[in-house]
């Protein structure tokens, strides 16, 4: 079975033109024909910056995908009904089973909290475990998150997200002892995703367990103005 997986840091829909426009995000996803999409920096009723919109609800309805969300930040509501949240999401053509959220707090409260979203999806009569995360810039918290994914993630595994690390760094080398970096495995280019206008870094990754064959990878630069990151897509066989 072939599946197409995307990773995309959507920057709460705020583009390089400073406008919040989820329709551009929807067009990129729809045109990519991706089956499963990991999203970073998604707002749910968060603040004026995204018009207090539930962005996960909007994306799932517009694209007609299943969806799940994992808050990294949960703040007091400005009405008695709606908790303000910001975090990671997943969109899937296939039903999502038993979504779980793992929260990573920095004990000194000097950096943004982070989360990992786990979603189990049945593909070709196999349970596949997807993890969507946005790793911290704080070295201690980054290590906590990456250690969890290296040691605790269930197989077969697909890990999607903004890792805030350089390819071939010490942190990257620890990860690829266990998982394949889909881009590094078959591409002969750098796969740069940040910043979106003139990308100079690869911060966004898809890692997979050895259960998968990696068939294709491609950075999507069709609408670079839509976010400060570019998405990229990988076609996998399981």
Domain boundaries, the chain: 2-237
pLDDT of residue 202: 96
pTM exceeding 0.75: yes
Q: How many residues does the chain have?
A: 238
pLDDT of residue 107: 56
Q: Which residues contact 30 (CB under 8 A, 6 or more apart)?
A: 63
pLDDT of residue 211: 96
- CA distances to 22, 89, 102 from 131, rounded to whole Å, are 23, 10, 10
Q: Taking Cα atoms as reference points, which of 221, 196, 216 lies closest to residue 206?
A: 216
Query: What is the tens place of the pLDDT at every residue in 105-143?
Result: 765 555 577 899 999 999 999 999 999 999 998 888 899
**CATH H superfamily, domain 2-237:** Endonuclease/exonuclease/phosphatase (3.60.10.10)
**What parts of the chain have a pLDDT lower than 70?**
80-81, 106-111
């Amino acid at each position: 079975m072939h599946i197409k997986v995307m990773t995309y840091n959507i920057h709460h829909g705020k583009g390089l033109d400073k406008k919040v426009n989820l329709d551009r995000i929807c067009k990129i996803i729809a045109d990519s024909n991706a089956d499963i999409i990991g999203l970073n920096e998604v707002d749910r009723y968060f603040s004026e910056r995204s018009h207090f919109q539930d962005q996960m609800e909007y994306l799932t309805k517009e694209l007609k995908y299943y969806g799940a969300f994992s808050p990294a930040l949960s703040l007091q509501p400005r009405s008695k009904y709606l908790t303000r949240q910001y975090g990671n999401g997943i969109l899937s053509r296939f039903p999502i089973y038993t979504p779980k959220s793992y929260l990573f707090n920095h004990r000194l409260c000097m950096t943004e909290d982070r989360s990992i979203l786990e979603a189990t999806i049945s593909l070709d009569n196999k349970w596949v475990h997807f993890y969507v995360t946005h790793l911290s810039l704080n070295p201690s918290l980054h290590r906590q998150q990456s250690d969890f994914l290296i040691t605790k993630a269930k197989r077969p595994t697909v890990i999607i997200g903004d890792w805030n690390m350089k390819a071939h760094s010490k942190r990257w080398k620890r990860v690829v002892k266990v998982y394949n970096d889909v881009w590094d495995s078959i591409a002969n280019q750098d796969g740069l995703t940040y910043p979106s206008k003139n990308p100079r870094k690869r911060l966004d990754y898809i890692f997979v367990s050895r259960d998968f064959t990696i068939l294709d990878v491609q950075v999507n630069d069709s609408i670079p103005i839509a976010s400060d990151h570019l998405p990229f897509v990988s076609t996998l066989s399981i």
